[in-house]
Amino acid sequence: MEDWRELLPTAYLLTGSDAGARDLLVRALARGPRVEDLVRVHLRRRLARDTTIAGTSGDPWWLSAEDLATAGRTAAALDGLSRTERTAAVLRWHDGLLADRVAALVPGVDLSTLPDRLGIPEADLPRRLEGLAALADLRDLSDDDVARGVREVRGRRRSRALLAVGAVAVLGAGAVWLPGALPTAPPSAAATTTEAGPQAPESGPARGALADDEDFVAGLRVQLDPGPEDGRLLYADDVGGLRWALIIRPYGDGVTATWFFGPEGAQPADMAQTSDVYSGVRPAAWSLAASTGGRSAVLVVARPGDEVELSRGVVVAADGTPGRDFAPVDLEDGVAAVPLDAVPTGAPVQYRLTRDDGPRATGTPSVAVNSNSTATATPPPARSGTNPVDPGAYDQAVARITGPTGLDAADLDVTVLGSGTFPAPGGTTARAVTVAAVLPGGAVVTSTALSADDGGADVCGVETHPAGTDPAALTVATRCASYAGDSSTFGVTVVVVAPPGVAVTLNSAAGGDPVTPELTDGWGYALTDLTQFAADGVTGQVSRAGDGPFDTP
Contacts of 350 (CB under 8 A, 6+ apart): 310, 311, 324, 326, 362, 363, 364, 365
Q: Tell me: do 348 and 449 sit in the same domain.
A: no
Per-residue confidence (pLDDT) for residue 7, from 0 to 100: 85
Domain-ending residue, one of 336, 371, 406: 371
Environment class of 399 (CB within 10 Å of its CB; exposed 0-12, middle 13-18, buried 19+): middle
101 lies in some domain = yes
Domain-ending residue, one of 104, 127, 158: 158
Q: Tell me: do 228 and 299 sit in the same domain.
A: yes
Q: Tell me: do 175 and 146 sit in the same domain.
A: no
Q: In 3D, which of 530, 526, 529, 508 has the Cα closest to residue 517?
A: 526
Per-residue confidence (pLDDT) for residue 116, from 0 to 100: 87
Per-residue confidence (pLDDT) for residue 486, from 0 to 100: 44
Question: Radius of gyration (Cα) for the chain, nearest Å?
Answer: 24
Contacts of 357 (CB under 8 A, 6+ apart): none
Q: Tell me: do 200 and 144 sit in the same domain.
A: no
Q: Tell me: do 415 and 272 sit in the same domain.
A: no
Q: Tell me: do 151 and 174 sit in the same domain.
A: no
362 lies in some domain = yes
Per-residue confidence (pLDDT) for residue 547, from 0 to 100: 80
Q: Tell me: do 260 and 394 sit in the same domain.
A: no
Per-residue confidence (pLDDT) for residue 50, from 0 to 100: 36
Structural domains of the chain, count: 3
Q: Tell me: do 219 and 365 sit in the same domain.
A: yes
Q: Which amino acid is at 380?
A: P
Q: Tell me: do 324 and 233 sit in the same domain.
A: yes
Alpha carbon distance, N-terminus to C-terminus of the chain: 36
Q: In 3D, which of 491, 514, 507 has the Cα closest to residue 432?
A: 491
Per-residue confidence (pLDDT) for residue 437, from 0 to 100: 96
Per-residue confidence (pLDDT) for residue 62, from 0 to 100: 52
pTM over the 0.75 mark: no
551 lies in some domain = no
**Residues in the chain where the model's pLDDT stays below 70:** 1-3, 44-66, 137-140, 151-204, 225-230, 252-253, 279-281, 342-347, 359, 371-377, 426, 454-457, 482-490, 552-553
Q: In 3D, which of 74, 86, 77, 132 has the Cα closest to residue 111?
A: 86
**Whether the Cβ atoms of residue 125 and residue 118 lie closer than 8 Å to each other:** yes
Range of the domain at 88: 4-158
Degrees to nearest 5, angle at CA 91 with 66 and 41: 115
